[in-house]
Amino acid sequence: MSDSNHPSLPDDDDIDPRRIRSRNRLLDAAATLLSTGGVEAVTIDAVTKASKVARTTLYRHFQSSSHLLAATFERLLPQVSTPAPTSGSLREQLIELLSRQAALFNDAPLHVTTLAWLSLGPTGAKEETDNSHASGALRARVVDQYRQPFDAILTSSKAHTELGNIDRDLAICQLDGPLAFARMTGLRTITRDDCTTLIDNFLATHRRAATPADVREVV
């Protein structure tokens, strides 16, 4: 009987505890090097030496140093798993969401978070196609994690009524941008009161001008 008639079985490498341990050791070593020496310190030689994992084993896990860095950044960056608030006014929902995301930024180690965020963007250096794909795919996943709850709120009927057809990309930059900048520079720790101010300023700028019908309704 042909092998093609059998259902595919999981790769033993994916469930081998030794392989899982070696991957974790590689990522632990890369994270330490990243936090102490920056991106340039995360080389194949340095990671294999620090982790005591063979180079051949490293390449079984990661195609290149960029893939290793991408996996390390993904481990270090704060993960957004809280869904968007669904109750309250538009203002209350945005304040709650921004406060949750501010807490995630504040809880992340400053140095490695800075390096991770900076490294997710273009560096101007020439990279191989697969290396560019590794960092690009990671950036897309990270951006999507942060933007999904904002999209859920900003595409709601409440948001459309108050804000009209808003540029959501720009809106997310205006709201999450100050959180990232404050954390990266250490300028300040963003509090819930800060988030309230950011949201109030954002809404004051983007709320649609009241129409005659709106005025009559208020009166």
More confident of the two residues 149 and 79: 149
Domains and CATH numbers, the chain: 13-61 (1.10.10.60), 90-210 (no CATH)
- In the predicted model, what is the mean pLDDT of residues 79-89? 82
- pLDDT score recorded for residue 158: 93
pLDDT band per the 50, 70, 90 thresholds, residue 23: very high
87-120: pLDDT as tens digits: 999 999 999 999 999 988 887 765 556 656 666 6
Query: Rounded mean pLDDT of the chain?
Result: 80
Residue 72 has pLDDT above 80, yes or no: yes
pTM for this one? 0.69
Of 53-67, 101-115, 156-170, minimum mean pLDDT range: 101-115
The Cα–Cα gap between 205 and 169 comes to 16
Residue 210 has pLDDT above 90, yes or no: no
Residue 77 has pLDDT above 50, yes or no: yes
- pLDDT score recorded for residue 65: 86
User: What 3 state SS string does the chain have?
Assistant: CCHHHCCCCCCHHHHCHHHHHHHHHHHHHHHHHHHHHCHHHCCHHHHHHHHCCCHHHHHHHCCCHHHHHHHHHHHHCCCCCCCCCCCCCHHHHHHHHHHHHHHHHHHCCHHHHHHHHHHHCCCCCCCCHHHHHHHHHHHHHHHHHHHHHHHHHHCCHHHHHHHCCCCHHHHHHHHHHHHHHHHHHCCCCCCHHHHHHHHHHHHHHHCCCCCHHHHHHHC
Residue 122 has pLDDT above 70, yes or no: no
